[in-house]
C-alpha cells in the first residue's frame, strides 16, 4: 500500500530543553533531523515488537565508572603507548 503525505499525522510531546539540544546535535552529526530520527526509532520499535534497546535499572558500579574514566584518560593521552595490531601488543607484553 502506497502511503501519501495525507496519511501523516502530527505527534507532539514535551522534552527537557537540554536533552533536545543534545539529541538534535547528535542527529545532525548522523545526517538526520529530529523527525527522521524519531521515525527511525518508531520503525525499529515496531520491527522489534518493543523498545529497540535494553531498558534496565542496573547502574554501573564505582569500579566500572572508574575503569571507564581511566580508559578515557588513556585514550586521550598522546604519551601513552598504543599498538597498531595484536603482534605489537604481544611483543610489548613479552618484553
What is the distance in angstroms between the CA of the first residue and the CA of the last residue of the chain? 65
What residue segments make up the domains of the chain, in order of their start?
A: 5-48, 62-94
Instruction: Tell me if residue 84 falls in helix, strand or coil.
Output: coil
Enter the C-alpha cell of residue 26: 547528535
Query: Is residue 89 predicted with pLDDT exceeding 80?
Result: no
**pLDDT band at residue 82 under the 50/70/90 scheme:** confident
**pLDDT band at residue 2 under the 50/70/90 scheme:** low
What is the predicted pLDDT for the residue at 1?
52
Please report the DSSP string for 19-31 in residue order: HHHHHHHHHHHTT
Query: Is residue 17 predicted with pLDDT exceeding 90?
Result: yes
CA distance linking residue 32 with residue 35, whole number of Å? 8
Amino acid at each position: 500500500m502506497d502511503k501519501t503525505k495525507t496519511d501523516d499525522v502530527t505527534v507532539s510531546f514535551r522534552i527537557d530543553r537540554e536533552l533536545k539540544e543534545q539529541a538534535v546535535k547528535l542527529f545532525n552529526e548522523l545526517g538526520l533531523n529530529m523527525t527522521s530520527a524519531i521515525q527511525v526509532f518508531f520503525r525499529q520499535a515496531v520491527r522489534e515488537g518493543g523498545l529497540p534497546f535494553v531498558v534496565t535499572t542496573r547502574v554501573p558500579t564505582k569500579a566500572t565508572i572508574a575503569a571507564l574514566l581511566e580508559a578515557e584518560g588513556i585514550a586521550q593521552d598522546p604519551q601513552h603507548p598504543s599498538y597498531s595490531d595484536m603482534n605489537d601488543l604481544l611483543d610489548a607484553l613479552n618484553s
